């Protein structure tokens, strides 16, 4: 399922962050899932991502990319 939302937080030191969907659901993501290859994304950035089950069995987002809306 594709979700639109905002990057709530991102830690360059840990390489992970949180994404809040427009439906106010909170999801974890890892920097390897940022599609532009930068491995970093600023909090407050509008983004689109795909909801998936992560390696630990919890909901996460993958294929995170910046959007302009």
pLDDT score for 51: 97
* Total of domains in the chain: 1
pLDDT score for 68: 79
pLDDT score for 59: 93
Q: Which structure tokens are listed for 63?
A: 């294929």
Distance CA 43, CA 53 (A): 23
Q: Model's pTM, two decimal places?
A: 0.91
pLDDT score for 29: 97
The parts of the chain modelled with pLDDT lower than 50 are: none
Give the count of alpha carbons within 13 A of 58, CB side only.
6
Q: Are 39 and 32 in contact (CB under 8 A)?
A: yes
pLDDT score for 69: 62
Structural domain harbouring 49: 2-66
pLDDT score for 3: 97
Residue 46's alpha-carbon distances to 22, 28, 49, 57, in angstroms, are 10, 15, 10, 26
Q: Indicate which CATH number applies to the domain containing 48.
A: 2.40.50.140
């Amino acid at each position: 399922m594709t979700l639109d939302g905002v990057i709530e937080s991102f830690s360059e030191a840990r390489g992970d962050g949180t994404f809040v969907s427009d439906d106010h659901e909170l999801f974890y993501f890892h920097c390897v899932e940022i599609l532009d290859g930068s491995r970093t994304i600023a909090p407050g950035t509008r983004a689109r991502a795909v909801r998936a089950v992560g390696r630990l069995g919890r909901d996460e987002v993958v294929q995170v990319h910046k959007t302009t809306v």
